[in-house]
Homo-oligomer: A and B are copies of this chain.
Amino acid sequence: MSVSNDGKKKVTIYSVAHEAGVSLATVSRVINDSSLVKEETRKRVEEAIVKLGYRPNAVAQGLALKKTTTIALVIPDSSFLYMGKIINGLLDVAKIYKYNIALHTTSSSISEMSEIIDNIVKSRADGVIVYNDCLTESEIAILNSFSTPMVYIGHKIKAEDACNVYVDYKKALYELTDKYIQAGYDDIVLIQDKKNPMMMDELLQGIEKGFSKHNLQFKGLIEIPEKYHNSYDYLNEYFKDNKHQLVITVRDSQAMAVLNACTENGIDIPKETDLVCVMDSRYTDMVRPRISSFFIPSYDLGALAMRVMTKMLNNDEVKEKEYQLSYIYKNKASTKI
């Protein structure tokens, strides 16, 4: 006794053709809005379709047309919190163009990545969108080696000719650093975030560029010791004994840890220490003082990536390969300048 087949006869294009007294070809034409079918016949077929409750089988269509109208989305499994808006953007655009989304998550082990790709190849997705933080060079090489249209989202990628939608974090941090050094504050630290290695890299480069502009060298990277399960705990400790002019964190939770530790130790933010959280989130506005941050157009990142993908699949000439979206620095109560 099968679960899905309650004795109901399955209805295929044959049934419809039979019911309407026409051939398969005609039914197919009706389904696909082909113009070359007589109005009267179309009516008959459409009636048969509703009468039988016929739904075309997308699998068979996929086989016949050699395309699945499915886009594979590859994201790190840890990052739904930050991917939320991106995914919403992706999905909204996907819906418009009638694409389905197949969700694949990486657990940052390399063997897994080739497994995922294997899976995507097998399932014949028309395209792949990859959130490319946490990817190693070799993983990106693997990805680039296969010929399905691909869009990288989130970070600038080295691979030339790769399609890429991103925010230039390096520039963001360069500007921030420059501003602070010019104002006379050069005791700046950046809190490491192991969960976002590629972003860390970009931030670091930006800060270093800012320092070297003023003939200084940046030495303020605070690494989270291995033994700490999450950075929150360590930061809570660290800021009991340390004080800096500007603390930069990647995630809101890290910023909140710094805030808590400073508050508990009587260090006033922003009077004594400025605090900036790179990745914007609702929570940076919910603590007191509100934490200065960069607004990242996550929804747009997702939406644009998907839009570019639809163009590629449509064989519209995609001239632009790189789409750089701009951040907005939001100066809130955790910073003086």
Contact = CB atoms under 8 A, between A and B. Distances in A.
13 contacts: A2-B315, A3-B313, A4-B148, A55-B122, A57-B63, A57-B122, A57-B124, A58-B124, A77-B88, A81-B84, A100-B123, A253-B283, A260-B286
Contact of A3 (B121, B257, B312): B312
Contacts of A60: 63
A41 to B, nearest CB: 23
B56 A122 contact: yes
Interface stretch (A101-109, A152-160, A181-189, A326-334): A101-109
Interface in A229-281: 232, 253, 256-257, 260, 263-264
A195 to B, nearest CB: 13
Nearest to A73: B103
Contacts of A77: 88, 91-92
B123 A58 contact: yes
Contacts of A260: 286, 288
Given A62-B59, A83-B80, A123-B58, A147 B4 contact: yes
A236 to B, nearest CB: 10
Nearest to A61: B122
B91 A80 contact: no
A8 interface: yes
Contacts of A121: 55
A138 interface: no
A63 B257 CA distance: 53
The 6 closest A-B pairs by CB, nearest first: A80-B84, A256-B286, A59-B62, A58-B122, A58-B123, A101-B103
A136 interface: no
A232 B286 contact: yes
A91 B103 contact: yes
Given A3-B313, A256-B283, 10 more contacts: A4-B148, A55-B121, A58-B123, A59-B123, A59-B124, A80-B80, A80-B84, A84-B84, A101-B103, A264-B288
Interface residues of A, number: 58
Contact of A147 (B6, B123, B149, B263): B6
Interface of A: 2-6, 8, 55-60, 62-63, 68, 70, 73, 77, 80-81, 83-85, 87-88, 91-92, 100-105, 118-119, 121-124, 126, 147-149, 232, 253, 256-257, 260, 263-264, 282-283, 286-288, 312-313, 315
Interface centre among A62, A73, A315 (most CB of B within 10 A): A62
Contacts of A232: 286
A77 to B, nearest CB: 5
Nearest to A122: B58
Contacts of A5: 147
A309 to B, nearest CB: 11
A67 to B, nearest CB: 9
A4 to B, nearest CB: 5
